[in-house]
Amino acid sequence: GAVVSQHPSWVICKSGTSVKIECRSLDFQATTMFWYRQFPKQSLMLMATSNEGSKATYEQGVEKDKFLINHASLTLSTLTVTSAHPEDSSFYICSATSGRAGYEQYFGPGTRLTVT
Amino acid sequence: QKEVEQDPGPLSVPEGAIVSLNCTYSNSAFQYFMWYRQYSRKGPELLMYTYSSGNKEDGRFTAQVDKSSKYISLFIRDSQPSDSATYLCAMSPPSGYNKLIFGAGTRLAVHP
């Protein structure tokens, strides 16, 4: 149980284009989903928290207009990187939870974004 | 100062060794302490969690929390090459339940 998927697993896009990443909870309903960013050999940095049906809460320093998050249902959240630039190249990981405790987050396999 | 400090390593040990991984933190209000294992280009996988202080054991893994010293540890006994991965500690802050603060991760290599 508690499986989270992400699609695509790897995407290459040209500078200036937008790319959408999907995060799905496959066997449970996720009241909250989180989006993280991870640079090579660095830790996970929380970008935003999203609750189904409401606007995402972004961490300080994360551009809301650049990283659009939509949590349309209890099993799906999307992250759209708009007007991508090479510095947006990173590993994006989502997590989903239906509980309140930190250990109850279940992580997706991640999406590697390369912007050329 | 970062809220959670973790030595990034790398740490290289022979198969069968006991591995000790550690994190320190500054926020005394943290209550949940987690250890995740992350293989290259994969998402983190929860290994263990501990609530408040104390020890917890699961097979070859033991987690310890010392809140008085703001120090947590993960011990791996009889380490195997399959244990080679990055180990991340994470903690839950007092506000914003569910929000995790991660350490930098320690890269572990267990060689045969």
Question: HSE-up of B109 (CA within 13 Å, CB side)?
Answer: 6
Question: Distance between CA atoms of A93 and A107, rounded to whole angstroms?
Answer: 7
User: pLDDT tens across B13-60, in order?
Assistant: 999 999 999 999 998 888 889 999 999 889 999 999 998 888 999 999
For residue B104, what is the nearest residue in chain A, using CA coordinates? Answer: A43
**Cross-chain Cβ contact B43/A108 below 8 Å:** yes
- Nearest CB to A42: which of B44, B92, B104? B104
* Phi and psi torsions of A39, nearest 5°: -85, 160
Q: Tell me, what's the pLDDT at A1? A: 66
Torsion of CA B26, B28, B29, B33, to 10 degrees: 70
Q: Which residues of B touch A108 (CB under 8 A)?
A: 43
- And the tokens for B41? 């280009």
Question: Distance between CA atoms of A40 and A67, rounded to whole angstroms?
Answer: 20
Tell me which residues of chain B, numbers 54 to 73, contact chain A at a CB-CB cutoff of 8 Å: none
Q: Is the pLDDT of residue B95 over 80?
A: no
Q: Is the pLDDT of residue B94 over 70?
A: no
For residue B36, what is the nearest residue in chain A, using CA coordinates? Answer: A103
Q: Tell me, what's the pLDDT at A104? A: 82
Question: Do residues A28 and A2 make contact, with C-beta atoms less than 8 angstroms apart?
Answer: yes
User: pLDDT tens across A1-45, in order?
Assistant: 689 999 999 999 999 999 999 999 999 999 899 999 998 888 899
Q: Is B7 in a helix, a strand, or coil?
A: coil
Q: Tell me, what's the pLDDT at A101? A: 73
Q: Is the pLDDT of residue A47 over 70?
A: yes
More reliable by pLDDT, A55 or B74? B74
User: pLDDT tens across A65-83, in order?
Assistant: 999 999 889 999 999 999 9
Q: Is A33 exposed, middle or buried (0-12, 13-18, 19+ CB in 10 A)?
A: buried
**Cross-chain Cβ contact A4/B100 below 8 Å:** no
pLDDT-based confidence at A107, cuts 50/70/90?
very high
* Phi and psi torsions of A86, nearest 5°: -50, -30
Region A42-57: mean pLDDT is 89
Q: Tell me, what's the pLDDT at A100? A: 72
- Optimal mutation site among B99, B101, B106, B107, interface A, most CBs of chain A within 10 A: B99
- Which are the contacts of A60, defined by CB distance < 8 A and separation ≥ 6? none
For residue B48, what is the nearest residue in chain A, using CA coordinates? Answer: A103
For residue A44, what is the nearest residue in chain B, using CA coordinates? Answer: B102
Count the neighbouring beta carbons within 10 Å of the beta carbon of residue A30.
28
